[in-house]
Amino acid sequence: MKPPPDDALDVELMRAVGRQDRHAFARLVERHYGWALGFTDRMLGTRHEAEDMVQTAFLRVWQGAGRWEPHAKFTTWLYRVLYNLCVDRLRARQTASGEPLDDALVERLADEAPTGEERITSLQRGARVRAALDQLPARQRAALVLCYYEERSQAEAAALLGVSAGALESLLSRGRATLKKWLRDELQ
């Protein structure tokens, strides 16, 4: 899910939130919660962690709104906050366990009641892709999620990640190649 188009409404809402307007904050959350949760869920692979991260991000919006300046789009700023929170969480996971946490998602998908052979095949393929995506370095994962799941342009994705267009293309290329190799090796 893509965020709604950035426009003067986001600027107006952020200025109101800066004045501690709770109604404006609720409207801002309502406007951006869905895509923010989708992005974060794809980055982390677990819905409950994604929900926590999105809540944390919106708490930061509330706390920082008075200092926010509309030099960049609100969604660009929020993507960056979400990305940084996800990277911190992924680092904490690796420190705690030494490996990315992906088994919970695979089990959850495998436990769903199938509606037919195609549904099972689709779920298994999705779980394999999700598991492989979860193993990628955070920057490669973010590049792939932004461009393929969030349907952001490469220019937007590069800006959100704070990298050049060439660096983004390199992240995408390495990520795609790694996924292709892992998924091909798994099927053989």
The pLDDT tens digits for 7-37 are 789 999 999 999 999 999 999 999 999 999 9
Q: What is the mean pLDDT of residues 42-68?
A: 91
pTM for the model stands at: 0.61
d(CA 23, CA 101): 37
- Label residue 20 left, alpha or beta by phi (over 0 means left) and psi (-120 to 50 means alpha): left
Is the pLDDT assigned to residue 151 strictly greater than 90?
no
On whether the CB atoms of residues 161 and 111 are closer than 8 A, the answer is no
Q: Taking Cα atoms as reference points, which of 86, 24, 14, 26 lies closest to residue 57?
A: 86
Query: Tens digit of pLDDT for each residue in 166-186?
Result: 999 999 999 999 888 888 876
User: pLDDT category, 121, cuts 50, 70, 90?
Assistant: low
Structural domains of the chain, ranges and CATH numbers in brackets: 1-101 (1.10.1740.10)
pLDDT at 127 over 80: no
- What is the DSSP code (8-state) at residue 115? S
